[in-house]
Copies of this chain bind each other. A is one copy, B any other.
Amino acid sequence: MRDVPRPGREPGCSGATCGHQPGAPSIPAAKQGPALAAPVPSRGLPPQMVVWDEPSFQGRKREFTAACDSTAECGFSTVLQGRLLHSGFQGQQFVLERGEYPCWEAWSGSNAYHVPRMGSFRPIACADRRESRLALFEHENFLGRKGELRDDCPSLPALGWAGSAVGSFLVRSGAWVGSQYPGYRGFQYILESDSHAGRYPHVRHWGSHAQTGQIQSLRRVQH
């Protein structure tokens, strides 16, 4: 990792710790998303994210400690030294925990469309490993069969949940990530107890990239 001068602050970025991909890919093919390196962080630090604009922690470097609405002007792609992060104000969402992500594939997962660029990010404030509770419902508006979770669930069908879709969620405490496929694969959807009082009455409330209610795994976001 080269030691490079930090660029000046661009408008729209006050510092941040979360990642989100815009809906319309427009990144040159050569840009595979950058990378992130983390010296061993101490626990108890506020959210922090370090970004390089090339893979394997090369190129220009930038640090963020708060939410950022748009990284577009900055020219940066990805991130992540920080703590619980969430990519998200529109388009695909990515929940990012502390660690190293040397290239775009490291944080993108098996998503349907690949955009090696993160547009915005913010911390996940309500994550609470010790006390995470969520209710899921067969139908929208909290109707139909109900399930309650307190632990990570890599397969809703294995627990007896009929079908591969969920109609609505009620997040009682903490923050959760719902995933399209078993084993936390596919599209991710952040579900937070402090967002609209934890109420997600319809699939459209999970995010603009949620085209269906398909959810087959759910896990807690942990500090």
Contact = CB atoms under 8 A, between A and B. Distances in A.
A194 interface: no
A97 B219 contact: no
A183 B97 contact: yes
Interface in A74-119: 83, 95-101, 105-112
Interface string A200-220: 000000000000000011010
Interface stretch (A9-17, A22-30, A48-56, A152-160): A152-160
Contact of A99 (B41, B112, B181): B181
Q: Could you say how many copies of this chain the assembly holds?
A: 2
A60 interface: no
A137 to B, nearest CB: 17
Nearest to A177: B183
Contacts of A105: 110-112, 186
Contacts of A107: 110, 181, 183, 185
A198 interface: no
A164 interface: yes
Nearest to A42: B160
Interface range on chain A (Cβ under 8 Å from partner): 35 or more
B182 A184 contact: no
A162 interface: yes
B182 A99 contact: yes
A158 B38 CA distance: 11
Contacts of A154: 97, 219, 221-222
A223 interface: yes
A99 B156 contact: yes
Contact of A110 (B109, B112, B216, B223): B109
Nearest to A161: B40
Contact of A223 (B99, B158, B186): B158
A219 B97 CA distance: 14
Interface of A: 38, 40-41, 43, 83, 95-101, 105-112, 152-158, 160, 162-164, 180-186, 216-217, 219, 221-223
